[in-house]
Amino acid sequence: MQEREFHIDPHMTYGDLRRYADTLDVTVSSATLPTGINGIYSESVRTILIDRNTSYTQKRCTLVHELVHWSYWDGSCDPRNLPKCETRTRRLTAQMIVPMKDAERLGEEYEGELSPIATELDVTIQVLRDYQSLVLPRTYA
């Protein structure tokens, strides 16, 4: 199947992303999800659920992550390929919402301290780690 396309600006807020998602062929809703699960995408009903008990930064990152799953029709991923799908999704999420110029500038400014860099970029520390481990090696390869 051909990938579903979507384009976001890395500076979009969670509200901006929710409004944008309304223009796509996917439903986004909030729900109380089990502990440790921030979001879920179901291909069978083309629905993304975002845990309502997380911060706006977490919701923002989770929505982009789940939109990547939506764009690749990941509800139909072969279970044997799930780790591969998840790695791809984490890489693309970080690539989409961490602007390279800002990350480099802030990395120097904060001497590599992840917490203030993540706060400035409005991303989670996990997304920033994914950017460092999954995006940068491809960029400078």
Render 17-72 in DSSP notation, one character per residue.
HHHHHTTSSSEEEEE-PPTT--EEEETTTTEEEEETTS-HHHHHHHHHHHHHHHHT
Band (pLDDT 50/70/90 cuts) for residue 80 is low
How far is 31 from 37, CA to CA, in rounded Å? Answer: 11
Share of the chain above pLDDT 90, in %: 77
Confidence bin at 131 (pLDDT 50/70/90): very high
Model confidence over 81-119: pLDDT tens digits? 678 889 999 999 999 999 999 988 998 999 989 999 999
13 three-state secondary structure: coil
